[in-house]
A and B are shown apart, each in its own frame.
Chain A
């Protein structure tokens, strides 16, 4: 599972290094135009327009977080109702044991808390993080992906993968270098 991003062929993929977000966008568009579909990019910040260029679907995370938030809020309400109205009713100043308005603050807070925890855990899970190592970290100079360089990776598992064509496409858009990634 560790290397599932890359195929087991003689080459795992081709990495192109670019020096600006605009060059990265141009490279992605050029590669897409030549039929490559299994692309991923790396850079210090989310470049506007990149997700559209890569044809990435919108993250579906919100659809899972919402029911979790509702469940958290519902559980909080149930706990308050059962403890205060059923198991241990306590008459404080004549308030009803099942005092719905008084249960609102905690219900709301627990809904938000479960949503936030779920969102963070799911975002990490969906991204395959945390992960201690990744084959790309072996690449000399890849550390600049979090600083000031942009990388595009053409996966060899791409049905349209052709090393020379990919190399030519990267050369055309002015990639600083194109490196083969060992499997």
Chain B
């Protein structure tokens, strides 16, 4: 029996009416100056993103900094980074659901939203990286006049299938979980918000919380959770095969799938913390998102951070143990000491160093310190992909083909632009969708009142 050290999952004993007011009411709150300011910034950045996309498409990917030997750079770094961030949402909502962890309840909805928006950003990069994105549909096996078919032995169609499936299943899971809360938005609409009442009513699909509905609903929710669970593990495994099936030193490694999955969940939890701290403060949700949640997320960060650290150690050991000259050079000289090696040191500092702070419970429950640590980990995980891709490709087998990489302003514009596009989608979601699963919080409150809520292990 694990002791619940006095940190409550819900502060006080809010009634269902209070929970509705607090969590569903957010969609009808007046929009303040802060929202408009943030919206303006996000729109501006999204404009930069679409400008850079236009330049990429009209001029070509020669506007990007990648060139032989560094054929993959920002396009793939950012793709892997965003996809990785997307993993925490499904991890929280699916895996923690199956393990009956009660602390997932208050954070699952917006973690799922984060997942969807992050995967949308991720999807942009491989599409643009094709060079001719208008031919992306060639990945789909359709009977074409060319008489050819996609080569399914390549990792590219695997990637397309994995990401399309992940996005679709995450979207279904998210929307299905939202049905009762859309119904609550419909039913709680103030009289003057008639149009939005109708819109929420349409989104709720006529939901009325019948026991007959709940019978199928609960089973389907569990089923979707069970289906999303292997996806969490498979998507990044498949992404990692993009690397592992090549011959590049530092890439051709069987540790990649679990290494990538752990890194993805690590960075995803860091992003959830990065978003949860300001959201909790702005919307005054200290009662629903408590220190207990940050404590639990901190433990997840620590645990996955150690899997990542372990992978770094194994990579170094295997490079040395293999006796392969290119591998040894890659891991012991190229990464820590060649062009751009400061990124490697940054990666080590953030992913291995900063993570150790999470051993302290006082640190984990201090939302300000945790927020800065989470930012550092977000950077650290981006740096890790930079190290693997750019530092890996810069120093290949033949010294005559070595080269150094620098991004162009279009690369930077696309990266910053996707962050703003993500922010835009996220703040619109916070304004127009109940971003905490109110019906699940009510269920949790009911179970806590009766003292039969599962305590969970974390």
Q: Which A residues contact B (CB, under 8 angstroms)? A: 21, 40-48, 50-51, 54, 56-59, 61-62, 65, 79-80, 83-84, 87-88, 90, 92, 95, 99, 102-103, 105-106, 108-110, 112-113, 115-117, 119-120, 122-124, 126-127, 129-134, 136-137, 142-148
Contacts and interface: CB of A to CB of B under 8 A. Distances in A.
Interface of A is mostly: helix
Contacts of B153: 84, 92, 95, 99, 102
Contacts of A120: 172, 176, 220, 224
Given A87-B149, A110-B161, A146-B186, A61 B219 contact: yes
Contacts of A112: 165, 169, 227, 230-231
Given A112-B169, A117-B172, A146-B184, A46 B150 contact: no
B361 to A, nearest CB: 32
A20 to B, nearest CB: 9
Given A117-B172, A120-B220, A129-B206, A84 B187 contact: no
B168 A116 contact: yes
Given A45-B439, A50-B214, A116-B228, 20 more contacts: A40-B211, A45-B180, A45-B209, A45-B442, A46-B218, A62-B223, A92-B151, A105-B158, A109-B165, A115-B227, A116-B172, A116-B173, A117-B172, A123-B176, A123-B220, A127-B212, A129-B205, A131-B205, A147-B187, A148-B15
Category for how many chain B residues contact A: 35 or more
A116 B149 contact: no
A27 to B, nearest CB: 12
A129 B442 CA distance: 23
Interface of B: 15-17, 20, 24, 141, 147-154, 157-158, 161-162, 164-165, 168-169, 172-173, 176, 180, 183-184, 186-188, 205-220, 223-224, 227-228, 230-231, 234, 238, 241, 438-440, 442-443, 446-447, 452
Nearest to B15: A148
Nearest to A21: B446
A59 B205 contact: no
Contact of B215 (A48, A59, A88, A147): A59
A51 B12 CA distance: 29
Q: Summarize B's interface: helix, strand, loop or mixed.
A: helix
Contacts, number: 187
Contacts of B213: 127, 129
A3 B169 CA distance: 33
B239 to A, nearest CB: 11
B301 to A, nearest CB: 27
Q: Which of A88, A95, A106, A127 has the most CB atoms of chain B within a 10 A radius of its CB?
A: A127
A105 B155 CA distance: 9
Contacts of B446: 21, 45, 47-48
A41 B211 contact: yes
Contacts of A145: 187, 208-209
Contacts of B16: 44, 147-148
A108 B212 CA distance: 32
A98 to B, nearest CB: 10
Nearest to B214: A46
A126 B16 CA distance: 28
Given A45-B180, A92-B151, A148 B17 contact: yes
Contacts of A129: 205-207, 213
Contacts of A117: 168, 172
Contacts of B165: 109-110, 112-113
B219 A59 contact: yes
Given A45-B440, A115-B227, A146-B207, A123 B217 contact: yes
